[in-house]
Amino acid sequence: MSGNCNHNCSSCSSNCASRKQESLLKAPHKKSSIKKVIGVVSGKGGVGKSLTTSLLASLAQKKGMSVGIMDADITGPSIPHMFGVHEHATGSEEGIETVLSPSGMQLMSMNLLLDEESSPVVWRGMVVSGTVMQFWTDVIWRDVDLLFIDMPPGTGDVPLTVFQSIPIAGIVIVTTPQDLVKMVVEKAMNMAAMMNVPVLGLVENMSYLVCPDCGKKIEVFGHSKVEKLAAEYAIPATARMPLDGRIASLADAGRIEDYETDALDAVFAQLERANPKEIE
Would you kindly state where each structural domain of the chain is located, as residue ranges? 29-272
Per residue in 13-63, pLDDT (tens digit) is 455 544 444 578 999 999 999 999 999 998 788 889 999 999 999 999 999
Per DSSP bridges, beta strands 217-218 and 209-210 are antiparallel
Sorted by sequence, the CB contacts under 8 Å of residue 233 that are 6+ apart come out as 185, 189, 199, 202
Contact call for residues 33 and 76 (beta carbons, < 8 A): no
Burial of 21 (0-12, 13-18, 19+ CB in 10 A): exposed
Q: Give the confidence band of 75 by pLDDT, cuts at 50, 70, 90.
A: confident
The pTM assigned to this predicted structure is 0.89
31 - beta bridge partners? none
> pLDDT tens digit string along 97-152?
999 999 999 999 999 998 777 777 777 878 989 999 999 999 999 999 999 999 98
The answer to whether residues 158 and 74 touch, using CB atoms and an 8 Å cutoff, is yes
- Domain 29-272, CATH: 3.40.50.300
> Cα angle vertex 30, ends 164, 49, to 5°?
45
The predicted pLDDT at position 153 comes to: 84
Q: Give the pairing of strands 144-150 and 34-41.
A: parallel
